[in-house]
Amino acid sequence: VYRKTGWLGAVVLLLTACEGSQSALDPAGSAAELIARLWWPTLFVATLVTLLVLTLLAVAVFRAHKKHAELPLSVRQSRNLVIAGGIILPLAATIPFALSSFSIGRTIHAPLPDDALTVEVIGKQWWWEVHYLDEAGDRIATTANEIHIPVDEPIRFLLSSDNVIHSFWVPNLQGKTDMIPGRTNLTSMTADEPGVYRGQCAEYCGTQHALMAFLLVAEAPEAFDDWLAHQRQPAREPATDAQARGREVFLEAECADCHTIRGTPADGEDGPDLTHIASRQTLAGATVPNRIGHLGGWITDPQHIKPGNKMPPSELSPEELQTLLGYLESLE
User: Phi/psi of residue 296, each to 5°?
Assistant: -60, -45
Q: Does 203 bind ligand CUA (CB under 6 A)?
A: yes
From candidates 209, 236, 262, 294, binder to ligand CUA by CB under 6 A: 209
Residue 129 within binding range of ligand CUA, rule CB under 6 A: no
Q: Could you give the CA distance from residue 11 to residue 92 in angstroms, rounded to a whole number?
A: 32
Collapsing DSSP states into helix, strand and coil, what is residue 152?
coil
- Least Å distance, CB 202 to ligand CUA, is 7
**Residue among 235, 201, 248 nearest 329 (CA):** 235
Comparison of 109 and 209: residue with beta carbon closer to ligand CUA: 209
Residue number, 124 or 280, with CB nearest to ligand CUA: 124
Q: Which residues within the stretch 1-40 sit at the binding site for ligand CUA (CB under 6 A)?
A: none
At its nearest, how many Å lie between ligand CUA and the CB of residue 164?
A: 7
Which range binds ligand CUA by CB under 6 A, 28-36, 75-83, 198-206, 306-314? 198-206
Closest CA to 255 of 197, 193, 299: 299
C-alpha span between 117 and 188 (Å, rounded): 10
Size of the site for ligand CUA (CB under 6 A): 9
Binding mask 87-126 for ligand CUA (x = CB under 6 A): ------------------------------------x--x
Q: Does a cis peptide bond (omega within 30 degrees of 0) precede residue 128?
A: no
212, 217, 266, 328: residue in contact with ligand CUA (rule CB under 6 A): 212
Nearer to ligand CUA, 126 or 327 (CB): 126
CA dist 111 and 146 (Å) reads 24
Least Å from the CB of residue 208 to ligand CUA: 8
Binding flag, residue 144, ligand CUA (CB under 6 A): no
Closer to ligand CUA by Cβ: residue 166 or 306: 166
Q: Which is nearer to ligand CUA, 211 or 261 (CB)?
A: 211
The reply on whether position 271 binds ligand CUA by CB under 6 A is no
C-alpha angle 177/283/299, rounded to 5°?
135
CB-nearer residue toward ligand CUA: 202 or 266: 202
Sheet holding 155-161, edge to edge: 139-144, 128-133, 118-123, 155-161, 185-189
Residue number with CB closer to ligand CUA (29 or 123): 123
What backbone phi and psi angles, to 5 degrees, belong to 33? Answer: -60, -45
199 touching ligand CUA, by CB under 6 A: no
The 146-185 contact track toward ligand CUA, x by CB under 6 A, reads --------------------x-------------------
The answer to whether 285 and 277 have CB atoms below 8 angstroms apart is: no
Out of 34, 205, 211, 284, name the contact with ligand CUA by CB under 6 A.
205
Instruction: Give phi and psi for 156, each to the nearest 5.
Output: -95, 140
Residues 6+ apart with CB under 8 A from 328: 246, 250, 274, 277, 278, 295
- Mapping DSSP onto H, E and C, the string for 225-253 reads HHHHHHHHCCCCCCCCHHHHHHHHHHHHC
Q: Does 201 bind ligand CUA (CB under 6 A)?
A: yes
H or E stretch covering 299:
helix 292-300
Q: Say whether residue 204 binds ligand CUA (CB under 6 A).
A: yes
Q: Binding to ligand CUA (CB under 6 A): which residues in 37-76?
A: none
8 Å CB contact between 277 and 328: yes
Which residues would be at the binding site for ligand CUA (CB under 6 A)? 123, 126, 166, 201, 203-205, 209, 212
